[in-house]
Structure 1
Amino acid sequence: ELVKLVDPGVKAWTPVKGRTNIVMFVGLQGSGKTTTCTKMAYYYVRKGWKCALVCADTFRAGAFDQLKQNATKARIPFYGSYTESDPVIIASEGVEKFTNEGFEVIIVDTSGRHKQESSLFEEMLAISTTTQPNLIIYVMDASIGQACESQARAFKSKVDVGAVIVTKLDGHARGGGALSAVAATQSPIIFIGTGEHIDDFEQFKVKPFVSKLLGMGDIEGLIDKVNELKLDDNEELIEKLKHGEFTLRDMYEQFTNIMKMGPFNQILNMIPGFGADLVKGASEAESMSRLKRLMTIMDSMSDSELDSREGAKLFTKQPTRIVRVSRGSGVTQKEVQELLTQYTKFAAVVKKMGGIKGLFKGGDMAKNVNSTQMAKLNQ
């Protein structure tokens, strides 16, 4: 049911290669709109598109400086003005300049506004009329909660919102408000922002989003991240996963890999039944510290313990091992026991993954794995 709510059944607009595609961003103040403009431009640049940014936000002090700084860092051409106060003129000039220079994706950032500010809505409409965008994107902050529906509806009533981007999904907000925004605009979510870094930006996939919304993890996203890493031992790990094998040493190695994968809490939240325990109420740094503490405990285990297929059962059979490891790592026996509990949960997910034949074929997982199989991983 939730999947139906988030998916309005409208095909998302996509840019056409070799022609000018104008995208206009609208949204509330503080929604992360300016940062998201750069993230989207960077996303397309990495895929081989010629992209540029236009700052038509003359309302917020420092808006052009922010876009200029972001764009320069990402090496993306930009246009704006410190002297012109009319955003419609800036937008028009910027779009004309980059169109003449053969840019394929031109992203126009507009002033953030509230639904009560009618003058700013008129300005937004004027920019839209002048630049004739192929797509208008409504940027929504995941943390604003119930207010998002009325705000989204107000934007939709003034301009033709064709897509939604949900930002700030790296915090405690799980993005339930996205449901209301989609319902209000009847427009598909196309991307989500998952952190502060320029590459903390990913294409929106309905089922993984709903899984995370319900606290069930995101196996598909996790495997995508593992494949992106192209780790040297990836093939060996995948062979083990196929057979449902997973030792304490494997978990140690995967903890090391998790640290390389990107936004830490985001990765942990993808693991069903695992991330919630480790990340609950913790900052990125605190979660990293917790993970390193678990690795310190494993550093005090013997090779035979790390490589045993019995895993946690070995310690249950011989409790003196727990005593020895706790002394060696300088932690309590309870903490060693908690590590073994986390391992048992992780290993259980791996065993389920091993029983799903299409999971590690590569390519589009939606074609390899059906919804019933994916649901098994999240049980």
Structure 2
Amino acid sequence: MVLQDLGRRINAAVTDLTRSATLDEKAFDGMIKEISNALVEADVNIKLVATLRKTIKASVKFHELPPHANKKRIIQKAVFDSLVDIVNPHQGAYQPKKGKSNVIMFVGLQGAGKTTTCTKLARWYQARGFRTCLVCADTFRAGAFDQLKQNATKAKIPYYGSLTQTDPVVVARDGVEKFKKERFEIIIVDTSGRHQQEDALFAEMVEIQAAVQPHQTVMVLDASIGQAAEAQSRAFKETADFGAIIITKTDGAAAGGGAISAVAATHTPIVFIGTGEHLLDLEKFNPQSFVSKLLGMGDMQGLVEHVQSLKLDQKETMKNITEGKFSVRDLRDQLSNIMKMGPLSKMAGMIPGLSGMMGQMDDEEGSLKLKRMIYICDSMTTKELDSDGKIFVEQPTRMTRVARGSGTSVREVEELLAQARLMGGMAKKMKGGLAGMQKAQGAMGGAGKQGQMAAMQKRLASMGGGGGAGGMPDMGTLMKMMGGGAGGAGGGGGGMPDMSQLMSMMGNMGGNAGGGMPGAGRGGRR
């Protein structure tokens, strides 16, 4: 994952310092040097790194700190705030308005992923109730219109383009006028990839901009572009004056710091980051959440939005939970829901502590473990699935039969049944208090989204050590706090398994993954 190694190195440098017996100015300087080296190796501009060093040093003045000051917490907060400042241009991006036509024009280098990102963004706005459409003004690249047509058809988004008209200015103008008449709210215009040395293509870009009068021009930057990102983005800024950046291909193995440098150089906000090839692999960017994920502290807001966007069906499970029941079938449904959430590495970045627990387990291995659990459930009879698992204890031969039928071991079957019994016990305990919890959710809902997030962060902070993974909350509690994110009227996904125990089942990994920077998130967040 792009920037993952950078995050590990920064986190390791801070953790080593805060754990050392002698926390003095010399050790502090060593930490800053290690962080600076990691940033430079990740292609972050050297001038930007020098500014970061000065900022951290200015924030932590050892000779002025009172004797009782918590030096560890001050250092953690200084590092967190300084990293947030790098990716935060302190300028807001354009916010599309419902009920009117919002034209968004895409620019960028060839191969940055503009066409795919256009469809991803259209799909993102479509999921939030906007009438979206696409205009292909890339007449230069062979197959550009076919690619956009395929993507748009797959996402069920109206599109416009021409196989005969070669003038991109005409295609862009005609497409935008057509969709404006049809009262579309988000009109996204895809243009040809171009380089700063291609004067004719840069002039064409200005002509398209004049023809469609976009409300926002977005530059698409490939995360792997390296040090060239700053020069290219400056050239585009001077010519097209783009107002937002989308960074693509952050799921690759490249350094990725060049794209961060481009943000600082142009004082332009990042609005989204592309995290994969799927149409849903687009995340809204938030500086605090980005740095929090980078340092292994999780991204609770991103997790909430991701789960809510999936609209997982949890009605039957919630009904059982309210009655104090939890069957093997409920566990199977929750395992399927976890599979739908996307790659485990993506989820691990959002859930505090989980990325550490995964260790060297890749998405393929983690997915295979989950599938094996589902195979075990699929090899059970209806009676076994609808039971709480005790039937297997009373008749052990059933375990042998299920293991053979699913191609797994008896031990794996035992582990899955142990998880089902554990969740069943939790369901019985929650039966009495669920009504009160839902009532509290209703009260929290009235406080607005920021109030909900603040309340959730407060509850997460109070859970420390309850999940067996350095303070990571169990997934059932987390889903309830999301209120309504899983589709049913009863709220979010009640019986979902404790993620720390699930990961333990998947690789018997255990251990303390808490590490990280406790308190830095609270100190650095708004």
- TM-score for both structures, normalised by structure 1: 0.73
- Alignment pair present for 1:269 and 2:349: yes
Give the whole-Å Cα distance in 2 for the aligned partners of 1:347 and 1:231: 28
- Alignment pair present for 1:301 and 2:415: yes
Give the whole-Å Cα distance in 2 for the aligned partners of 1:345 and 1:55: 51
- Alignment pair present for 1:41 and 2:127: no
Residue equivalent to 2:113? 32
Kindly provide the CA deviation profile for residues 233-280 of structure 1, in whole angstroms up to 9, marking residues without a partner as x: 47999xxxxxxxxxxxx9998655421212443113323343355374
Give the whole-Å Cα distance in 2 for the aligned partners of 1:352 and 1:197: 25
Cα contact 2:298–2:351 (8 A) shared by 1: yes
- Alignment pair present for 1:207 and 2:321: no
- Alignment pair present for 1:196 and 2:317: no
Cα contact 2:331–2:420 (8 A) shared by 1: no
- Alignment pair present for 1:260 and 2:340: yes
Cα contact 1:258–1:267 (8 A) shared by 2: no
Cα contact 2:373–2:416 (8 A) shared by 1: no
**Superposition deviation, residue 294 in structure 1:** 8.4
Cα contact 2:162–2:171 (8 A) shared by 1: yes
SS in 1 for 2:345: helix
SS in 1 for 2:94: coil
| Unpaired stretches in structure 2, ≥5 consecutive residues | 1-81, 322-329, 375-407, 424-465, 486-517
SS in 2 for 1:138: strand
SS in 1 for 2:241: coil
Kindly provide the CA deviation profile for residues 43-83 of structure 1, in whole angstroms up to 9, marking residues without a partner as x: 22222222221111112110010001111222212111111
- Alignment pair present for 1:288 and 2:371: no
RMSD of aligned C-alpha atoms?
3.8
Within a 5 Å distance, the mapping from 1:133-144 to structure 2 comes to 133-144=214-225
1:287/1:66 Cα in 2 relative to 1: closer, same or farther (>3 Å)? same
Cα contact 2:101–2:184 (8 A) shared by 1: yes
SS in 2 for 1:126: helix
1:301/1:80 Cα in 2 relative to 1: closer, same or farther (>3 Å)? closer
Q: Aligned match of 1:360 in 472, 481, 505?
A: 481
Aligned residue pairs: how many? 326
Paired residue type of 1:360: M
Residue equivalent to 1:7? 88
Give the whole-Å Cα distance in 2 for the aligned partners of 1:154 and 1:235: 58
**Superposition deviation, residue 184 in structure 1:** 2.1
Residue equivalent to 1:222? 303
Kindly provide the CA deviation profile for residues 318-368 of structure 1, in whole angstroms up to 9, marking residues without a partner as x: xxxxxxxxxxxxxxxxxxxxxxxxx975373127998x9xx926599xxxx
Report sequence identity in percent.
51
- Alignment pair present for 1:348 and 2:498: no
Within a 5 Å distance, the mapping from 1:80-229 to structure 2 comes to 80-173=161-254, 175-227=256-308, 228-229=311-312
Give the whole-Å Cα distance in 2 for the aligned partners of 1:61 and 1:186: 34
**Superposition deviation, residue 288 in structure 1:** 1.4
- Alignment pair present for 1:23 and 2:104: yes
SS in 2 for 1:11: coil
- Alignment pair present for 1:231 and 2:314: yes
Cα contact 1:27–1:140 (8 A) shared by 2: yes
Paired residue type of 2:414: S
| Rg comparison, structure with higher value | 2
1:220/1:173 Cα in 2 relative to 1: closer, same or farther (>3 Å)? farther
Give the whole-Å Cα distance in 1 for the aligned partners of 2:475 and 2:186: 42
| Unpaired stretches in structure 1, ≥5 consecutive residues | 238-249, 310-342, 365-370
1:252/1:96 Cα in 2 relative to 1: closer, same or farther (>3 Å)? closer
Cα contact 1:274–1:345 (8 A) shared by 2: no
Residue equivalent to 2:456? none
Cα contact 1:190–1:203 (8 A) shared by 2: yes
Structure 1 runs of 4+ off > 4 angstroms? 232-237, 250-256, 290-298, 302-309, 351-354, 361-364, 371-376
SS in 2 for 1:44: helix
